[in-house]
């Protein structure tokens, strides 16, 4: 019981440390980007009074951090800075207001967040749907035609980036065959092309992992025992071999969720999928909306860490030896 409590506290501490580090780095990088948010929002014709009012409203009249370094002089500002004000807001559930729309950032994120999670889960589902059957076939037919085909598929999937696969799928299935819409997110079928684009590289990685795991497990003693008992080859592979072989695959799936969220930015841009990635790219970075960028990065990093924690739990469930250790 004591070990479980300590492990839980360690996980929470790690989560807080990573979130703090990521958001702090993003805040620092935003401060280093040239340009004035007030000019970006109000336009070049804004008067000094309008700019001062805008800066005062959003706290931009304060220094970015605890100190500033200008003209070779280090000046300390204490607690009166934007960085500390932002974290005070985070602790109370307030991520600030958008510079451009003046809407609460948290509300804007929650509007788009479900679309991104839906896309990531759909991409993961497609990757699993392709990788497990193909990986098992390749592993049980090592050196044969199906094995060579899976190797070619994996190499192709890893080599082609999303910004190549996406337009190609649009050209074939939206322009030529007219099966799906090129862009949009209103209908259930609109998720197919973005999910395939996002899941292509992951399916290639998982196919190779499933193949390697199956080949390794087929050489274990319990497989020979199962065959000696008269179990069918299908039952041996799918009931025993695949269960043990999925342990490293589950780990990769959890870690790849963060990659899917990052890759969703480009995929959402290609297909105009109204998710968190598009919000971060167009409304946040594109329009120098500091608060929106910070909020999006904060939510993405928390999602990534929670996915890793969930992966840990599933991993221990699949392999009791980890719990015993």
**CATH code of the domain covering residue 254:** 1.10.3720.10
pLDDT of residue 325: 45
User: Is 276:109 a contact under the CB 8 Å cutoff?
Assistant: yes
Strand partners, 73: 70
**CA 127/CA 250 separation, integer angstroms:** 12
pLDDT of residue 320: 56
Domain hosting 26: range is: 16-91
User: Is 3:316 a contact under the CB 8 Å cutoff?
Assistant: no
Last residue of a domain, one of 59, 91, 123: 91
Q: At a CB cut-off of 8 Å and minimum separation 6, what does 227 contact?
A: 233, 236
The answer to whether residues 258 and 205 belong to one domain is yes
pLDDT of residue 306: 79
The encoded tokens of residue 274 equal 């109204």
Mark the ranges of the chain whose per-residue pLDDT is less than 70: 1, 3, 68-72, 74, 77, 262, 314-325
The answer to whether residues 64 and 135 belong to one domain is no
Last residue of a domain, one of 91, 114, 130: 91
In a domain, 96, yes or no: no
DSSP H or E stretch at residue 74: strand 73-76
In a domain, 10, yes or no: no
The answer to whether residues 234 and 286 belong to one domain is yes
The encoded tokens of residue 297 equal 């990065």
Structural domain count, the chain: 2
Under the phi-then-psi rule, with left for phi > 0, alpha for psi from -120 to 50, and beta for the rest, what region is 71? left
In a domain, 122, yes or no: yes
Nearest to 291 by CA among 62, 89, 53: 89
Q: At a CB cut-off of 8 Å and minimum separation 6, what does 245 contact?
A: 139, 210, 213, 214, 216, 217
In a domain, 243, yes or no: yes
Residue owning tokens 């000696």: 228
pLDDT of residue 154: 80
The answer to whether residues 40 and 158 belong to one domain is no
The answer to whether residues 182 and 317 belong to one domain is yes
**CA 56/CA 51 separation, integer angstroms:** 9
């Amino acid at each position: 019981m004591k070990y479980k409590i300590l492990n839980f506290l360690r996980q929470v501490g790690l989560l807080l440390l990573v979130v703090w580090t990521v958001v702090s780095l993003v805040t620092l990088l935003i401060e280093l980007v040239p340009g004035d948010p007030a000019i970006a929002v109000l336009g070049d014709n804004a008067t000094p009074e309008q700019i001062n009012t805008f800066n005062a409203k959003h706290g931009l009249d304060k220094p970015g951090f605890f100190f500033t370094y200008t003209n070779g002089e280090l000046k300390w500002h204490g607690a009166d800075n934007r960085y500390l004000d932002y974290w005070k807001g985070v602790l109370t559930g307030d991520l600030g207001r958008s510079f451009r729309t003046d809407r609460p950032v948290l509300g804007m994120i929650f509007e788009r967040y479900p679309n991104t999670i839906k896309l990531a889960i759909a991409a993961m589902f497609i990757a699993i749907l392709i990788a497990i059957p193909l990986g098992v076939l390749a592993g049980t037919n090592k050196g044969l035609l199906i094995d060579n085909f899976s190797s070619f598929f994996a190499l192709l999937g890893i080599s082609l980036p999303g910004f190549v696969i996406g337009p190609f799928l649009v050209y074939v299935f939206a322009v030529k065959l007219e099966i799906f819409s090129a862009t949009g997110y209103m209908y259930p079928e609109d998720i197919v092309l973005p999910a395939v684009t996002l899941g292509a590289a992951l399916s290639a990685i998982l196919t190779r992992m499933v193949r390697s795991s199956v080949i390794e497990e087929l050489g274990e003693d319990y497989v020979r025992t199962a065959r000696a008992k008269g179990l069918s080859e299908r039952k041996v592979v799918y009931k025993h071999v695949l269960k043990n072989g999925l342990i490293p695959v589950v780990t990769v799936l959890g870690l790849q969720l963060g990659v899917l969220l990052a890759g969703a930015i480009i995929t959402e841009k290609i297909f105009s999928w109204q998710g968190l990635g598009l919000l971060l790219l167009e409304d946040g970075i594109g329009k120098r909306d500091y608060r929106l960028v910070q909020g999006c990065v904060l939510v993405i990093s928390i999602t990534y860490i929670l996915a890793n924690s969930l992966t840990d739990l599933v991993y221990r469930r699949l392999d009791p030896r980890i719990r015993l250790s």
